[in-house]
Amino acid sequence: MGQAIFITATDTGVGKTIVTAALGLALKRQGLDVGVMKPFQCSGNDAQFLVKTLGIKDDMGLVNPYYTDEPLAPGIAFKRKKVKVNLKKVFSAFNELKKRHDILLDEGAGGLLVPIKNNYLVVDLIKDLDIPAIIVARAGLGTINHALLTERYALNSSINVKGVIINGYKGSSLAEKTNPEVLKKILTTQLISILPFVKNVKTKKGLTIICKSLGEEFPASIGDAFLRN
């Protein structure tokens, strides 16, 4: 059975899907068979984008067990649609995909405290899946607080945090220029990478730039870097 890692974030809209796609492409270049999962998707086409970008052949019912067209937290969106979330369905899909691939990238919805159903949050899902996590953060003002809060909550919840990835870096403000060095000093884990802002990032050219930036941060095998405990 393969390994898995959860991609979470400090907030919604920080680029989890782009980071997941870039990680997947980088890992595939290391010769690994990569799978993806987006257990809960509330509007948009993130799961479809990942499947297309990474050439995934798995059934969408496994990749994305629960979908709704309203851009809300899953716990609210599925309740509004009168859809009862059965976590056994999610765990079954996860285990099946994990068996099929060397590494499974599991993308969350929003941040750690987003509700999935009554009294069950994203952080609870990560704990139940029993897999490590990567945190994606914005580049600008406020990200130090958001990154530290997310990292410390995850660590206090006994989640194995691999580190933080800053996404969408422009370097156009003083906050962006100073945040990376500050985070390197005060994060308990590590600042894994700083990915640039790329216009039209979902194109082949855009993803190539992101992957190159990601790869340059790892002198050793990217696969080894993420599969290592």
Tell me which residues are annotated as active site. Answer: 38
Angle between helices 46-54 and 16-29 (to 10 degrees): 20
Which two tokens mark 42? 């509330």
- Helices 204-216 and 16-29 pack at an angle, to 10 degrees, of 70
Nearest to 35 by CA among 18, 11, 55: 55
Using alpha carbons, select from 151, 164, 169, 162 the residue that is nearest to residue 213: 169
State the Cα–Cα distance between residues 57 and 44, nearest whole angstrom. Answer: 20
Say how far apart CA 143 and CA 141 lie, in whole Å: 6
Q: Which of 179, 147, 131, 114 is nearest to 1 (CA)?
A: 131
Q: What is the dihedral of CA 16, 19, 23, 26, to 10 degrees?
A: 160
Q: Is the dihedral of CA 33, 22, 225, 136 positive or negative?
A: negative
